[in-house]
Amino acid sequence: MSQIMAVDVIVRKTAEKTVLTAGGNLSISVSAPSVIEIHGSSQAVSHYIRQGKDLLIYMKDGSVIRCTNYFAEYPDTPNHSELVFNDGGELTHISFSEASEPEGFAATVLTPQEELIESIEPFLEQHSRMFDR
C-alpha cells in the first residue's frame, strides 16, 4: 500500500515553490528548470526510468512519480532540473550519468548517483547571483 507522499517543486530561476501531495501515483509537470524535492528517502525508490523527456520514479511501495519534461532543455538557461530527496535528516541529490535522450519514446533504465548535500540553495539562480558580485 502506498503512503501519502509530499513533493516540493521549486523553480530554479525564481525559487517559487509548489507543494504537491498524493496517496499513490503522482504526476508533476515541469515547465522550467526546477528542483524536485521529494520528502522521503532515496532508499524507498525501486528504480528510475527515462521515457522521452520524462523521469519516472518507481517507488518500492508500487507508486510512481512521473516528472513530465524533467529532461527538457530550455534555450534561455543552461540549468536543468535537479532531483533531491529530503528524509527529514539528510538531503540526497540524485543525478544520472546516462541521461541522454533515448530513441523515440523508448524507456531507458537510469543508474542513480547519490550525493549528500547540505542545502538546495546552490541549485537556485538567486543564490548563484548573490555570489557572482
pLDDT digits (tens, 9 = 90+) for 49-86: 999 999 999 999 999 999 999 999 888 888 899 999 99
In the prediction, which pLDDT does 23 show? 87
Could you tell me where the DSSP H helices lie in the chain? 125-131
Please tell me the number of Cα atoms within 13 Å of 92 on its side-chain side.
17
pTM: 0.89
DSSP secondary structure letters along 32-60: SSEEEEEES-GGGEEEEEEETTEEEEEET
Instruction: Please name the residues in contact with 78: beta carbons below 8 A apart, sequence gap of 6 or more.
Output: none
Stated length of the chain: 133
